[in-house]
Amino acid sequence: METERLRELPAVHELIEKLAPLTQRFPRALVVAEIRRALDEMRGDILAGHPAGLAPETRVERALAAIEKPSLRRVINATGVVLHTNLGRAPLESITLAAGYSNLEYDLASGRRGKRDVHTAALLERLLGAPGITVNNNAAAVFLALHELAAGGEVVVSRGELIEIGDGFRIPEIMARSGAVLREVGTTNRTRIEDYRAALNERTRLLLRVHPSNFRISGFTARPELKELTALGRERGLPVYEDLGSGCLVDLREFGVDEPLASESLKAGADLVSFSGDKLLGGPQAGILAGKPELVARLRRNPLFRALRLDKLIYGALERTLRSLLLERWDEVPALRMIRQPAERIRARAEALAARLPGLRLQTVPGESVIGGGATPEQAIPTWLIAIDCADAVAAERRLRQHQPPVVARIQDERLVLDLRTVLEEEEETLAGALAAL
């Protein structure tokens, strides 16, 4: 049976003749390659005993159509997770960069070569009160700091701060790769300043404090205040470095988000801080390091800084975000606009949208939004949800994902649930059309 099915497969030249119109739209070599790929897949299916499936012509047509369509696309996030890791974390405003060349590394005033980080340096210093540099993400920032400040020596860190964040990034492993030696102190739940003091020796290069962005330890716990750690660092002539993870530059406590501010850590005496650009800062993926001028200068001179530097597109997006923060134009930063939006405003939007969908069985109900992105665990923001009763909520959720543009919702208590906190107001018309199609 399998032999007969294999013999029935058409030859490559036969399919080229049938698909001749495609060679007018696509390079002939690409069409031939996709024909061979489709035939290989069919042979594999036959040998595995799978049913016939799609005809080879259809497989080739679909493969070419998929190649022609961008893989990275805009989606509508109706989950209520503001910094959705799978959806690119902080949403960005539409950014228009000048076409053609730019002054990325050119000083227009002097007519000489410049430095690319000048486009964000002045903004960071005004926001933080300390000089700063940027690399391609916060993991890179941590690696650069450890490599420059502690390679070949010991770094003292509490056992309760040896965290793992998304995609397997572990503090002990990144430390080992940087050439620094981990010196653990204290216990998982309790570490005292005396534990740090007892661990210091002639090989100690750095005191590291890591903010546990994505988890909380509660109950019988203790950790030194940052001021205690920085006082110990000054006493022993050791720099104190705090990795803040989420990178909050704006006080959001009145909106239900309690995260340490980078500026407060620096005021408390930290010699160096690092944090992400695409979390609570609200910008593109980046890692930001700021602190004492002499330390930042050392980091900038490290050869790894060039390997980890940002591209001009990221600089453009980050500069725009930082400028909006400095000018306190919070609504120009979508993530901050979403976090700051009152629940009653979301309720009004949800009820207005629900009124446009009389064909669906739905309710507007109170609920909770979350920050996400490895930030603010166990903290939620009150919101209002659109809850839709469906015969098959799983199938309805899948249909929304297949819409153009895709709509990502969630299922809760066997109902399809949408939270407009994370839906831009200009996306509501498109969302209404996707829901009406259900």
Tell me: the pLDDT tens digits for 224-241? 899 999 999 999 999 999
The pLDDT value recorded for residue 156 is 96
> 135: Cβ–Cβ under 8 A, 6 or more apart, which residues?
141, 144, 286, 287, 289, 305, 308, 309, 310
User: Is 99 contained in some domain?
Assistant: no
130 shares a domain with 276: yes
368 shares a domain with 309: no
* C-alpha to C-alpha distance for 436 and 438, rounded to whole angstroms: 5
CB atoms within 10 A of CB 2: 11
What's the rounded mean pLDDT across residues 191-214?
A: 91
* Mean pLDDT of the chain, nearest integer: 92
313, 330, 347 - which closes a domain: 330
Domain enclosing residue 189, as ranges = 106-330
What's the rounded mean pLDDT across residues 37-62?
A: 93
64 shares a domain with 83: no
User: Is 186 contained in some domain?
Assistant: yes
The pLDDT value recorded for residue 58 is 95
Q: Are 248 and 261 in contact (CB under 8 A)?
A: yes
Is the whole model's pTM more than 0.95, yes or no? no
Q: Given CA atoms 39, 45, 48, 50 in this order, what sign does their dihedral have?
A: negative
385 shares a domain with 404: yes
The pLDDT value recorded for residue 373 is 73
- 407 pLDDT above the threshold of 80: yes
User: Is 355 contained in some domain?
Assistant: yes
291 shares a domain with 179: yes
259 shares a domain with 217: yes
343 shares a domain with 294: no
The pLDDT value recorded for residue 374 is 65
251 shares a domain with 306: yes
- 166 pLDDT above the threshold of 80: no
CB atoms within 10 A of CB 13: 10
User: Is 95 contained in some domain?
Assistant: no
Token pair, residue 412, equals 């809760």
301, 330, 359 - which closes a domain: 330
CB atoms within 10 A of CB 202: 6
Banded pLDDT at 377 (limits 50, 70, 90): low
385 shares a domain with 292: no
131 shares a domain with 260: yes
User: Is 97 contained in some domain?
Assistant: no
- 273 pLDDT above the threshold of 90: yes
Q: What is the CATH number of the domain that holds 365?
A: 3.90.1150.180
What's the rounded mean pLDDT across residues 164-193?
A: 83
204 shares a domain with 163: yes
The pLDDT value recorded for residue 229 is 96
